[in-house]
């Protein structure tokens, strides 16, 4: 079984108030982690959520190719799509 080794080479520095530091340390203690680990995990979660909210999308090469092909040559609408377009046109007319 292979074991992944993760190295953390990068540093971030942030100034916080005394109250913020105490709050972080308390939350970390309640979570059973260090303040450093708590901050790392909380900021990671916040960054993932923010990126998701702003529509950050990554595609593999095959998906990128399919996406471009559909943009360049969109498929013809089927009967359900045509019926939906008619209903929409009637509702907004």
Residue 69 pLDDT: 94
Share of the chain above pLDDT 90, in %: 75
Q: What is the mean pLDDT of the chain?
A: 92
Write the DSSP assignment of 25-67 as a string of letters.
HHHHHHHTS-HHHHHHHHHHHHHHHHHHHTT-----HHHHHHH
Q: How far is CA 88 from the centre of its chain?
A: 32
Q: What residue segments make up the domains of the chain, in order of their start? A: 14-57, 59-93
Alpha-carbon span 43 to 27, nearest angstrom: 14
Residue 52 pLDDT: 87
9 pLDDT tier (thresholds 50, 70, 90): confident
What is the mean pLDDT of the segment spanning 42-71? 90
């Amino acid at each position: 079984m292979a074991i992944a080794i993760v190295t953390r080479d990068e540093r971030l520095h942030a100034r916080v108030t005394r109250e913020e530091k105490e709050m972080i340390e308390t939350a970390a203690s309640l979570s059973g982690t260090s303040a450093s680990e708590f901050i790392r995990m909380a900021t990671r979660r916040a960054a993932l959520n923010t990126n998701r909210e702003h529509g950050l999308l990554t595609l593999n090469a095959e998906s990128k190719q399919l996406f471009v092909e559909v943009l360049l040559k969109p498929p013809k609408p089927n009967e359900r799509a045509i019926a939906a377009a008619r209903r929409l046109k009637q509702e907004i007319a």
